[in-house]
Amino acid sequence: MSAVLISAEELREALTGKTIRLLDVRWALGDPDGPEHYRKGHIPGAVFVDLDTELAAPPSPARGRHPLPDAGQLEKCARSWGVCRGDPVVVYDATGGMAAARAWWLLRWAGIADVRILDGGLPAWTRDGGELATGAAPDPAPGDVELAPGALPVIDADTVARWDGVLLDARATERYRGDTEPVDPRAGHIPGAISAPTAENLTADGCFRPPELLRERFAGLGTGPVAVYCGSGVTATHQIAALAVIGVEAALYPGSWSQWSHDPKRPVATGAGA
Protein backbone atom coordinates (compact mmCIF):
# COMPACT_ATOMS: atom_id res chain seq x y z
CA MET A 1 0.00 0.00 0.00
CA SER A 2 1.44 3.36 -1.01
CA ALA A 3 0.81 6.66 0.72
CA VAL A 4 -1.63 7.61 -2.04
CA LEU A 5 -3.19 4.48 -3.54
CA ILE A 6 -4.75 1.26 -2.32
CA SER A 7 -5.48 -1.71 -4.57
CA ALA A 8 -8.79 -3.54 -4.59
CA GLU A 9 -7.11 -6.58 -3.05
CA GLU A 10 -5.55 -4.49 -0.28
CA LEU A 11 -8.88 -2.82 0.42
CA ARG A 12 -10.70 -6.15 0.71
CA GLU A 13 -8.10 -7.34 3.21
CA ALA A 14 -8.13 -4.07 5.17
CA LEU A 15 -11.93 -4.03 5.48
CA THR A 16 -11.85 -7.30 7.41
CA GLY A 17 -9.60 -5.92 10.11
CA LYS A 18 -10.51 -2.30 10.84
CA THR A 19 -12.95 0.51 10.25
CA ILE A 20 -12.35 2.32 6.98
CA ARG A 21 -14.53 5.18 5.83
CA LEU A 22 -15.41 4.57 2.19
CA LEU A 23 -16.48 7.54 0.07
CA ASP A 24 -18.11 7.08 -3.33
CA VAL A 25 -17.29 10.19 -5.37
CA ARG A 26 -18.72 9.35 -8.77
CA TRP A 27 -18.90 12.54 -10.81
CA ALA A 28 -18.03 13.64 -14.33
CA LEU A 29 -18.47 16.88 -16.21
CA GLY A 30 -21.91 16.75 -17.82
CA ASP A 31 -23.03 13.70 -15.81
CA PRO A 32 -25.30 14.72 -12.91
CA ASP A 33 -26.36 11.14 -12.16
CA GLY A 34 -23.81 10.21 -9.51
CA PRO A 35 -26.50 9.40 -6.90
CA GLU A 36 -28.24 7.08 -9.35
CA HIS A 37 -24.97 5.33 -10.20
CA TYR A 38 -24.42 4.87 -6.47
CA ARG A 39 -27.89 3.35 -5.97
CA LYS A 40 -27.32 0.91 -8.83
CA GLY A 41 -24.18 -0.45 -7.20
CA HIS A 42 -21.54 0.65 -4.70
CA ILE A 43 -18.97 -0.87 -2.38
CA PRO A 44 -20.79 -2.03 0.76
CA GLY A 45 -20.50 0.58 3.49
CA ALA A 46 -19.61 3.42 1.14
CA VAL A 47 -21.24 6.83 1.53
CA PHE A 48 -22.05 8.88 -1.57
CA VAL A 49 -20.31 12.26 -1.71
CA ASP A 50 -21.59 14.99 -4.02
CA LEU A 51 -18.61 16.73 -5.57
CA ASP A 52 -20.48 19.85 -6.67
CA THR A 53 -22.11 20.61 -3.32
CA GLU A 54 -19.88 18.92 -0.71
CA LEU A 55 -16.40 19.17 -2.20
CA ALA A 56 -16.74 22.72 -3.54
CA ALA A 57 -18.15 26.10 -2.64
CA PRO A 58 -20.79 27.65 -4.93
CA PRO A 59 -19.37 28.59 -8.35
CA SER A 60 -18.78 32.14 -9.51
CA PRO A 61 -16.83 33.82 -12.32
CA ALA A 62 -14.56 35.41 -9.71
CA ARG A 63 -13.66 32.13 -7.98
CA GLY A 64 -14.23 29.48 -10.64
CA ARG A 65 -16.56 26.51 -11.08
CA HIS A 66 -15.34 24.51 -8.08
CA PRO A 67 -13.86 26.85 -5.45
CA LEU A 68 -12.44 25.26 -2.33
CA PRO A 69 -15.17 24.73 0.26
CA ASP A 70 -15.28 26.63 3.53
CA ALA A 71 -13.33 24.69 6.15
CA GLY A 72 -16.24 24.57 8.56
CA GLN A 73 -18.62 23.33 5.88
CA LEU A 74 -16.14 20.64 4.80
CA GLU A 75 -15.82 19.47 8.39
CA LYS A 76 -19.61 19.34 8.70
CA CYS A 77 -19.80 17.23 5.55
CA ALA A 78 -17.00 14.91 6.66
CA ARG A 79 -18.80 14.31 9.94
CA SER A 80 -22.00 13.57 8.03
CA TRP A 81 -20.06 10.89 6.12
CA GLY A 82 -19.21 9.29 9.47
CA VAL A 83 -15.53 10.24 9.49
CA CYS A 84 -14.08 10.14 13.01
CA ARG A 85 -10.73 11.24 14.34
CA GLY A 86 -8.08 8.71 13.37
CA ASP A 87 -10.21 6.96 10.72
CA PRO A 88 -8.44 5.92 7.53
CA VAL A 89 -10.42 7.01 4.47
CA VAL A 90 -10.62 5.42 1.02
CA VAL A 91 -12.18 7.33 -1.88
CA TYR A 92 -13.22 5.93 -5.23
CA ASP A 93 -15.12 6.61 -8.43
CA ALA A 94 -15.56 4.79 -11.75
CA THR A 95 -13.32 7.06 -13.85
CA GLY A 96 -9.79 6.20 -12.82
CA GLY A 97 -9.82 8.44 -9.76
CA MET A 98 -10.46 11.64 -11.74
CA ALA A 99 -13.21 12.74 -9.34
CA ALA A 100 -12.18 10.81 -6.24
CA ALA A 101 -8.83 12.60 -6.26
CA ARG A 102 -10.66 15.81 -5.36
CA ALA A 103 -11.85 14.20 -2.11
CA TRP A 104 -8.37 12.73 -1.53
CA TRP A 105 -6.77 16.14 -1.95
CA LEU A 106 -9.31 18.07 0.14
CA LEU A 107 -9.13 15.68 3.08
CA ARG A 108 -5.32 15.60 2.95
CA TRP A 109 -5.29 19.41 2.70
CA ALA A 110 -7.61 19.51 5.70
CA GLY A 111 -5.25 17.46 7.85
CA ILE A 112 -6.34 13.81 7.49
CA ALA A 113 -3.09 11.95 6.87
CA ASP A 114 -4.43 8.51 5.90
CA VAL A 115 -6.52 9.03 2.77
CA ARG A 116 -6.13 6.66 -0.18
CA ILE A 117 -7.54 6.50 -3.69
CA LEU A 118 -8.83 3.07 -4.73
CA ASP A 119 -6.58 2.36 -7.70
CA GLY A 120 -8.79 1.59 -10.68
CA GLY A 121 -11.93 2.56 -8.77
CA LEU A 122 -15.14 0.57 -8.83
CA PRO A 123 -14.22 -1.36 -12.00
CA ALA A 124 -11.08 -2.67 -10.26
CA TRP A 125 -13.17 -3.64 -7.23
CA THR A 126 -15.57 -5.71 -9.32
CA ARG A 127 -12.75 -7.24 -11.40
CA ASP A 128 -11.22 -8.43 -8.14
CA GLY A 129 -14.47 -10.14 -7.18
CA GLY A 130 -15.72 -7.45 -4.82
CA GLU A 131 -19.42 -7.46 -4.06
CA LEU A 132 -21.71 -4.48 -4.60
CA ALA A 133 -24.56 -3.13 -2.51
CA THR A 134 -27.55 -1.49 -4.17
CA GLY A 135 -30.14 1.07 -3.19
CA ALA A 136 -29.86 3.96 -0.78
CA ALA A 137 -27.74 3.30 2.30
CA PRO A 138 -28.75 4.50 5.77
CA ASP A 139 -27.01 7.60 7.02
CA PRO A 140 -23.88 6.70 8.99
CA ALA A 141 -23.49 7.64 12.63
CA PRO A 142 -22.12 11.21 12.76
CA GLY A 143 -18.35 11.45 12.98
CA ASP A 144 -16.24 13.68 15.18
CA VAL A 145 -13.34 14.50 12.86
CA GLU A 146 -11.73 17.91 13.27
CA LEU A 147 -10.30 19.47 10.13
CA ALA A 148 -7.53 22.05 9.90
CA PRO A 149 -6.89 23.15 6.29
CA GLY A 150 -3.43 24.05 5.09
CA ALA A 151 -1.57 20.73 5.01
CA LEU A 152 -1.11 20.87 1.21
CA PRO A 153 0.07 23.88 -0.84
CA VAL A 154 -2.40 26.14 -2.62
CA ILE A 155 -1.67 29.11 -4.88
CA ASP A 156 -3.85 31.90 -6.28
CA ALA A 157 -3.99 33.55 -9.69
CA ASP A 158 -1.47 36.25 -8.81
CA THR A 159 1.04 33.62 -7.72
CA VAL A 160 0.41 31.64 -10.90
CA ALA A 161 1.10 34.75 -12.97
CA ARG A 162 4.59 35.03 -11.51
CA TRP A 163 5.24 31.30 -10.98
CA ASP A 164 8.94 30.51 -11.18
CA GLY A 165 8.80 26.80 -11.76
CA VAL A 166 6.82 24.16 -13.64
CA LEU A 167 3.16 24.95 -14.27
CA LEU A 168 1.23 21.93 -15.54
CA ASP A 169 -2.08 22.19 -17.40
CA ALA A 170 -3.94 18.95 -16.70
CA ARG A 171 -6.70 19.43 -19.28
CA ALA A 172 -6.99 17.61 -22.59
CA THR A 173 -4.47 18.74 -25.20
CA GLU A 174 -7.12 20.28 -27.48
CA ARG A 175 -8.31 22.55 -24.68
CA TYR A 176 -4.74 23.52 -23.84
CA ARG A 177 -4.07 24.48 -27.47
CA GLY A 178 -7.31 26.43 -27.66
CA ASP A 179 -8.77 24.26 -30.43
CA THR A 180 -11.97 23.96 -28.43
CA GLU A 181 -13.41 25.26 -25.18
CA PRO A 182 -16.70 23.63 -24.20
CA VAL A 183 -17.22 25.30 -20.82
CA ASP A 184 -15.22 28.44 -20.15
CA PRO A 185 -15.37 31.88 -21.83
CA ARG A 186 -11.93 31.90 -23.49
CA ALA A 187 -9.94 29.15 -25.17
CA GLY A 188 -6.25 28.51 -24.61
CA HIS A 189 -3.96 28.19 -21.62
CA ILE A 190 -2.05 30.21 -19.04
CA PRO A 191 1.16 31.54 -20.64
CA GLY A 192 4.13 29.43 -19.64
CA ALA A 193 2.05 26.37 -18.75
CA ILE A 194 3.05 22.94 -20.04
CA SER A 195 0.43 20.54 -21.38
CA ALA A 196 0.25 17.39 -19.24
CA PRO A 197 -3.18 15.76 -19.69
CA THR A 198 -4.37 13.95 -16.60
CA ALA A 199 -5.57 10.98 -18.65
CA GLU A 200 -1.94 10.10 -19.34
CA ASN A 201 -1.51 9.19 -15.67
CA LEU A 202 -3.60 6.07 -16.28
CA THR A 203 -3.24 2.70 -17.96
CA ALA A 204 -5.91 1.31 -20.28
CA ASP A 205 -7.72 -0.35 -17.36
CA GLY A 206 -8.06 2.92 -15.44
CA CYS A 207 -5.31 2.27 -12.89
CA PHE A 208 -2.44 4.65 -12.20
CA ARG A 209 0.67 3.94 -14.21
CA PRO A 210 3.47 2.22 -12.28
CA PRO A 211 5.72 4.66 -10.40
CA GLU A 212 8.64 4.17 -12.77
CA LEU A 213 6.48 5.23 -15.74
CA LEU A 214 5.05 8.20 -13.87
CA ARG A 215 8.57 9.22 -12.90
CA GLU A 216 9.66 9.00 -16.53
CA ARG A 217 6.64 11.01 -17.66
CA PHE A 218 7.09 13.91 -15.28
CA ALA A 219 10.89 13.98 -15.54
CA GLY A 220 10.52 15.28 -19.07
CA LEU A 221 8.31 18.22 -18.13
CA GLY A 222 10.89 20.44 -16.49
CA THR A 223 12.48 21.13 -13.11
CA GLY A 224 11.67 23.40 -10.19
CA PRO A 225 8.63 23.88 -7.95
CA VAL A 226 5.51 22.33 -9.48
CA ALA A 227 1.99 23.76 -9.65
CA VAL A 228 -1.04 22.28 -11.40
CA TYR A 229 -4.30 23.58 -12.77
CA CYS A 230 -7.10 22.18 -14.92
CA GLY A 231 -10.57 23.42 -15.85
CA SER A 232 -11.93 23.96 -12.36
CA GLY A 233 -9.54 22.38 -9.86
CA VAL A 234 -10.88 18.82 -9.98
CA THR A 235 -8.71 16.76 -12.34
CA ALA A 236 -5.67 18.80 -11.32
CA THR A 237 -5.85 16.96 -8.00
CA HIS A 238 -5.43 13.69 -9.90
CA GLN A 239 -2.21 15.09 -11.32
CA ILE A 240 -1.10 16.04 -7.80
CA ALA A 241 -1.89 12.50 -6.65
CA ALA A 242 0.18 11.02 -9.48
CA LEU A 243 3.07 13.28 -8.56
CA ALA A 244 2.69 12.32 -4.89
CA VAL A 245 3.03 8.64 -5.87
CA ILE A 246 6.60 9.43 -6.99
CA GLY A 247 7.34 11.72 -4.07
CA VAL A 248 6.91 15.09 -5.80
CA GLU A 249 4.89 17.76 -4.01
CA ALA A 250 2.80 20.05 -6.21
CA ALA A 251 0.67 23.09 -5.43
CA LEU A 252 -2.94 23.35 -6.60
CA TYR A 253 -4.36 26.41 -8.32
CA PRO A 254 -8.01 25.84 -7.29
CA GLY A 255 -9.58 28.51 -9.49
CA SER A 256 -7.86 27.00 -12.53
CA TRP A 257 -8.90 27.92 -16.07
CA SER A 258 -12.52 28.62 -15.03
CA GLN A 259 -11.28 31.53 -12.89
CA TRP A 260 -8.38 32.68 -15.06
CA SER A 261 -10.38 32.82 -18.30
CA HIS A 262 -13.12 34.94 -16.71
CA ASP A 263 -10.66 37.70 -15.82
CA PRO A 264 -10.06 39.90 -18.89
CA LYS A 265 -6.81 41.20 -17.35
CA ARG A 266 -5.26 37.73 -17.48
CA PRO A 267 -3.33 36.90 -20.67
CA VAL A 268 -4.12 33.78 -22.69
CA ALA A 269 -1.82 31.72 -24.89
CA THR A 270 -2.88 29.34 -27.66
CA GLY A 271 -1.18 26.67 -29.72
CA ALA A 272 1.09 23.81 -28.74
CA GLY A 273 3.89 25.88 -27.19
CA ALA A 274 3.99 27.13 -23.60
Neighbours of 86 (CB within 10 A): 11
Neighbouring residues of 100: CB distance < 8 A, sequence distance ≥ 6: 23, 25, 91, 92, 93, 117, 118, 121
* Measured distance CA(196)–CA(94) in Å, rounded: 22
Question: CA-based diameter of the chain, in Å?
Answer: 55
**Active-site entry in 77, 84, 207, 230:** 230
Whether the CB-CB separation of 48 and 35 falls below 8 Å is answered with yes
Question: Amino acid identity of 162?
Answer: R
Whether the CB-CB separation of 161 and 266 falls below 8 Å is answered with yes
Helix axes 235-245, 100-109, angle to 10 degrees: 70
* Measured distance CA(20)–CA(118) in Å, rounded: 12
**Active site annotation includes 230:** yes
CA contacts within 13 A on the Cβ side of 167: 23
- In the 8-state DSSP scheme, what is residue 101? H
Helices and strands per DSSP (H, E), number in the chain: 11, 9
For residue 115, the surrounding DSSP H or E stretch is strand 115-118
Which residues are known to be catalytic? 230
